[in-house]
């Protein structure tokens, strides 16, 4: 599929990687609709990108957004499932001062699952249902997983969501093949985003020392993988790790 043929939604597209993807797509001639809860950041996107508030943790919001995007773009044949949050913490730990046993709360676990897995799944459901209902083909879905899907200390909630999203990339590629819809996923390592910018420099330097290529990634590095999945009609059902060789 050519980028210029796309009528595509980018979730979590107001800043960071999502904003980079949306901008690159627009530059390539695609019609792009961005959804994000950050309404101020949405205003800063380039002219030509359709934008609207979207909370992927809310099913009604998802359904309404997909209907809106379909009308605004004159159809839909793509989705970049990029929206996500982190609420890191150990599942069980002992307080160093008091010795008390502290557990991750159910809310802390469920909030990440609700956005990163349930919301992402509902986005796929609604976009593909719209494609099928309008007999739009071909179509492409790009899910944003993470190298953390292999397991990472302090991220039980995030790992659960990203591992499931990678597994369902295989599931959906098989379910949607009959509709002409391909499904791929990307698992980024550490990428330069507003979230990473707030990290302690000492901790960041320590992390970079473990990356074979000697740096953290840039949004453009991930965009190249997104572009490959969209353009390569022989690619489906797989997750591409883009992590500088770090892994877990």
Contacts of 10 (CB under 8 A, 6+ apart): 18, 21, 22, 25, 32, 33, 34, 35, 80, 82
pLDDT at 57: 96
228, pLDDT greater than 70: yes
Choose the catalytic residue: 65, 158, 176, 223: 158
Number of domains in the chain: 1
Whether 158 is a known active-site residue: answer: yes
- Residue 173 falls within a domain, yes or no? yes
Q: Stretch 205-218: mean pLDDT, rounded? A: 89
Q: Give the range of the structural domain holding residue 156, as residue numbers without chain letter.
A: 3-242
By percentage, how much of the chain surpasses pLDDT 90? 87
* 247 within domain boundaries: no
pTM: 0.93
Instruction: Look at residue 234 in the predicted model and tell me its pLDDT.
Output: 98
Confidence of residue 94 (pLDDT cuts 50, 70, 90): very high
Looking at residue 248, its pLDDT comes to: 60
Average model confidence (pLDDT) for the chain? 95
What are the pLDDT digits (tens) for 131-184? 999 999 999 999 999 999 998 899 999 999 999 999 999 999 999 999 999 999
Q: Is residue 16 in some structural domain?
A: yes
Decide if 12 is inside a domain.
yes
Q: What is the pLDDT of residues 25-73, one digit of tens each?
A: 999 999 999 999 999 999 999 999 999 999 999 999 999 999 999 999 9
* Residue 194 is assigned to a structural domain of this protein: yes
- On whether residue 227 sits in a domain, the answer given is yes
Residue 195: what pLDDT?
67
Cα–Cα distances (Å) from 74 to 71, 110, 225, in that order, read: 5, 35, 26
Q: What separation in angstroms does the CA of 107 have from each of 25, 54, 83, 94, 112?
A: 36, 21, 19, 19, 9
Q: Give the residue from 31, 138, 143, 15 showing the smallest Cα distance to 79.
A: 143
- Is 248 part of any domain? no
Domain harbouring 144, CATH code? 3.40.50.720
């Amino acid at each position: 599929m050519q980028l210029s043929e796309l009528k595509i939604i980018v979730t979590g597209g107001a800043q960071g990687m999502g904003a980079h993807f949306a901008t690159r797509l627009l530059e390539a001639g695609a019609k792009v609709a961005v959804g994000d809860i950050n309404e101020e950041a949405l205003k800063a996107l380039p002219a030509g990108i359709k934008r609207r508030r979207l909370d992927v943790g809310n099913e009604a919001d998802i359904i309404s957004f997909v209907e809106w995007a379909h009308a605004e773009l004159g159809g839909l044949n793509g989705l970049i499932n990029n929206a996500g949050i982190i609420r890191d913490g150990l599942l069980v730990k002992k307080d160093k001062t008091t010795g008390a046993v502290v557990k991750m709360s159910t809310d802390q676990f469920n909030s990440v699952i609700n956005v990163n897995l349930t919301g992402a799944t509902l986005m796929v459901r609604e976009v593909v249902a719209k494609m099928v209902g309008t007999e739009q083909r071909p179509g492409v879905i790009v899910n944003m997983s993470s190298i953390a899907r292999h397991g990472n200390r302090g991220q039980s909630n995030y790992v659960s969501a990203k591992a499931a999203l990678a597994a369902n990339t295989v599931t959906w590629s098989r379910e949607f093949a009959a509709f002409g819809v391909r499904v791929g996923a990307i698992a980024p390592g550490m990428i330069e985003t507003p979230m990473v910018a707030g990290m302690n420099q000492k901790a960041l330097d320590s992390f970079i020392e473990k990356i074979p290529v000697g740096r953290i990634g840039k949004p453009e590095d991930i965009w190249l993988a997104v572009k490959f999945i969209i353009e390569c009609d022989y690619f489906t059902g797989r997750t591409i790790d883009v992590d500088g060789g770090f892994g877990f």
